Structure 1
Amino acid sequence: MTGHAESGSGEGQEGLWRAVVWGGAATLLLAPLVAMRFTDEVQWTKSDFVVFGVMVTVPLAVLELAVRATVSMPYRAAVAVALGAAFLMTWLNLAVGIIGNENNPFNLMFFGVLAVGIVGAFIARFQPRGMARALVAMGAAQGLAAITALVAGHSAVLLNGIFAAAWLISAWLFWKAAGDQAVVQNTG
């Protein structure tokens, strides 16, 4: 990545950040449990809680690794944007589906978009310039999924545009992190 986090005055802020983020995740996971006590409209099974727990824990653990591995704010922001968009796309796709309902086979394309990003990240070895390319590829894959859905008679252009924009914003942030890294290497 782009450098190791330094010890010092930021430790208190990082501890607060971790408490807020992980506490928010726990609250999000517990919300359906509380809602089930008051309404019959929310009916989650144990497997629903397990899937959602994994959906929340994995991106937060990856974000935690990124925060520990780099002091680059653009890199951290790029990771946060990409993981946030991936989480929302997965949640939306599993809950109600992006195309039609959650059982529509066209929705599997969106997991392909995520696969492009995951494979790209490993190929890039999580280096910022390569990550930027992987996120541009995700944006292109998102556009291809939207076009495929349109050809098949389904419309989710706005939603696909929002996700494509998130991938491209993340790519821009990774590109900025790569530029910052090059400046530090040239001056250091």
Structure 2
Amino acid sequence: MRALNNHDDARNQGGLARSLGRVLLGTGAILTIPLVAMRFTREVNWGVFDFLVAGILLAGIGSLYVLLTRKLRTATQRRAIGGGLLLTLLLTWAELAVGIFGSPIAGS
């Protein structure tokens, strides 16, 4: 019985690694949008620091979602976690971009 449990743990670890890999691939895909846009317009002007912060924010929220929802069984619980994390992402992004709350981390 113990060998079966070790096999299940290894399979779960592989699933976690795949999920986190998908988060990183998705983060990279999203970050290619401003990278390509910078080639065609002057309206998008990101520096290395901008890409770094956006990558950390996207990968961090995505990884947190994966880790928090691993053991949840219902879609309602996963949606609630996802909605809260999405709201956190959007508010943080807006604060960094234009400073809607006037915090010290604001981009203005």
Q: Pick from 43, 61, 64 the counterpart of residue 63 of structure 2.
A: 61
Q: Pick from 9, 25, 28 the counterpart of residue 26 of structure 1.
A: 28
The structure with higher relative contact order (CA 8 Å, sep 6+) is: 1
Q: Pick from 15, 24, 39 the counterpart of residue 41 of structure 2.
A: 39
Q: Pick from 29, 48, 51 the counterpart of residue 53 of structure 2.
A: 51
Instruction: Specify the alignment match of 2:8 in structure 1.
Output: none
Q: Distance in 1 between matches of 2:47 and 2:24?
A: 23
Q: Distance in 2 between matches of 1:26 and 1:76?
A: 23
Kindly tell me the number of residue pairs found equivalent between the two proteins. Answer: 89
Instruction: Specify the alignment match of 1:84 in structure 2.
Output: 86
Q: Distance in 2 between matches of 1:71 and 1:59?
A: 20
Q: Distance in 2 between matches of 1:80 and 1:74?
A: 10
Q: Pick from 104, 108, 117 the counterpart of residue 103 of structure 2.
A: 108
Q: Distance in 1 between matches of 2:27 and 2:56?
A: 11
Identity percentage of aligned residues: 36
Q: Distance in 1 between matches of 2:85 and 2:56?
A: 13
RMSD over equivalenced CA pairs, Å: 2.7
Q: Distance in 2 between matches of 1:51 and 1:69?
A: 29
Q: 3-state SS of the aligned residue for 2:83?
A: helix
- Please give the per-residue CA displacement for 1:135-157, whole angstroms capped at 9, x wherever unaligned: xxxxxxxxxxxxxxxxxxxxxxx
Counterparts in 2 of 1:138-157, with a 5 A limit?
none
Q: Structure 2: which 5+ runs fail to align? A: 1-10
TM-score (norm 2): 0.68
Instruction: Specify the alignment match of 1:74 in structure 2.
Output: 76
Instruction: Specify the alignment match of 1:158 in structure 2.
Output: none
